[in-house]
Every structure is written in C-alpha cells, then in structure tokens.
C-alpha cells in the first residue's frame, strides 16, 4: 500500500496511523491474555469491559474509511493525467481498495480466532468468522492468505475457481507450481522459486505484483495477475501474506 500511495504523503501517514492502531490493539489483546493467565478470568473480563479494544477497532475502521475515501479522490486526479493508460489506473485503484478491505477483514478475523481460543466463545467466534469469509467470497477477485511459513491458510471461492481445484493447506509454496500447474507465461517452464511473490515478500519486499503467470485449467491456458502484500503482528514480524488474483 505504501508503494501505491508514495505520491500521496497524507495517505502514507494514514497507513502509518492505521498500523499503529492495529499494533496497540494487538498489545491490548495480549495484555488481556496475560492477565487471564496470571490474575484469572475476572480480571481479564474487567479489562475487556473498558472497551479499549472495541474503541481501537472502531478507530481503525474509521481510519480505513478515510483512507478509502481519500484514495478515491486521489484516483480521480490520477485518472485525469493517465487517460492513455486507463486500464492500469483502474487496476491500481481496485487493488488498493481490495487490499485495504481485506486487511481490515483479516485483522478482525484473526482477532475473533484469538478471542475464541482464550475466552471460550467458540459459537460466537465461529459465526463471526463465517460472516467474514462470506464477505471475502463476495469479492469479484481471488483472495488468498498464506502463513509465515509459506503454506496456504485460506482462499475464497473465486481463487479456487481460477485454479480449478481446492487449494490444500498441506501444499507448501515450493510445490504450488507443480501441484496447480503454474508456468511462466508463454512457456512450459514451471514458475521459478526466486520469482514467486510469496518468497519475495518473506525476503523483505513490501508489495509484489506479478503479471507473467499462466495456469493450466481444464486444458486451457489462463494468464494471471497476482498482487501481494503482508500482515504483521505487534512486533513487526510477518504473520500472513495476502494475495489478490485476477485472470
């Protein structure tokens, strides 16, 4: 996202502010967990009643809304100066909005999973998780999540439709090209490890876009565009890699 808005200082500040709020909320969640371990459930419950976590979530949601609105304005400005490259501008805007929404939804999804494990709210957490996954399934592009080890964690229906099969969580990223027949566009060469978006993100790149992939689906060659970013924890370490796939 920072690369996409590098010409918009205010948007860069918003991203930094959003990341800061997410880090504070994760610290609050960790504090609740630690208090429950040390002082018991009632103390943790009293901390939860302060609604600090809820307020931080609302602030994050509001900041993301501001970011999206500002990005719409910025996009209109870019569009006037890039009419000769309209398709690229639309793709850039679409990816910006989708990744913003996906980051917000995934952050909420991970919070719900953590709350479920630590506070014995399995039924509520499961229902909320299903709602979020349903929202991700309504998006018109493929959305996938990979964990910090490079293994598939989640993929929406569009993503699985593009690849022509369910994406197994047991398939490591080293074996993905062979398992799902992913090639360098225009060749029969399996997509090489060093060019893959997953590895490049794990090696430190903030945003990766690949437009030279092809897959074999029902004996048809399909060219793919893959955009990829990451989600970090409160200490700045990568926890999940999020990718957007368009055919």
Q: Looking at the predicted structure, is the pLDDT value of residue 180 above 80?
A: no
- pLDDT tens-digit readout, 46-77: 766 677 777 777 787 787 787 777 777 776 77
- pLDDT tens-digit readout, 155-171: 888 888 887 766 666 66
- Going by C-beta distance under 8 Å and a sequence separation of 6 or more, which residues neighbour residue 185? 211, 212, 213, 214, 223
How far is it, in rounded angstroms, from Cα 238 to Cα 205? Answer: 11
* Residue with the larger pLDDT of the pair 82 and 160: 160
The 3-class SS string of 25-55 reads HHHHHHHHHHHHHHHCHHHHHHHHCCCHHHH
Q: What is the pLDDT of residue 82?
A: 59
């Amino acid at each position: 996202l920072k690369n996409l808005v590098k010409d918009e200082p205010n948007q860069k500040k918003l991203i930094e502010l959003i990341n800061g709020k997410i880090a504070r909320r994760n610290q609050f969640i960790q504090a609740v967990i630690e208090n429950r371990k040390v002082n018991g459930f009632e103390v943790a419950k009293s901390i939860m009643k302060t609604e600090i976590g809820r307020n931080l979530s609302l602030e994050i949601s509001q900041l993301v809304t501001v970011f999206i609105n500002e990005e719409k304005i910025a996009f209109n400005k870019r569009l006037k100066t890039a009419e000769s490259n309209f398709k690229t501008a639309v793709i850039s805007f679409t990816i910006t909005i989708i990744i913003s929404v996906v980051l917000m939804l995934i952050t909420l999804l991970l919070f719900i999973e953590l709350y479920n494990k630590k506070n014995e709210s399995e039924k509520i957490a499961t229902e909320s998780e299903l709602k979020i996954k349903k929202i991700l399934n309504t998006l018109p592009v493929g959305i996938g999540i990979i964990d910090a080890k490079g293994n598939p964690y989640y993929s929406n229906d569009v993503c699985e439709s593009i690849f022509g099969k369910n994406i197994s969580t047991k398939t490591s990223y080293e074996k993905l090209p062979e398992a799902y027949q992913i090639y360098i566009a225009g060749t029969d060469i399996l997509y090489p490890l060093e060019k893959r978006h997953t590895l490049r993100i794990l090696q430190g790149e903030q945003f990766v876009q690949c437009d030279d992939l092809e897959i074999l689906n029902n004996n048809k060659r399909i060219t793919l565009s893959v955009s990829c970013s990451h989600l970090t924890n409160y200490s700045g370490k990568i926890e999940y890699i999020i990718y957007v796939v368009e055919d």
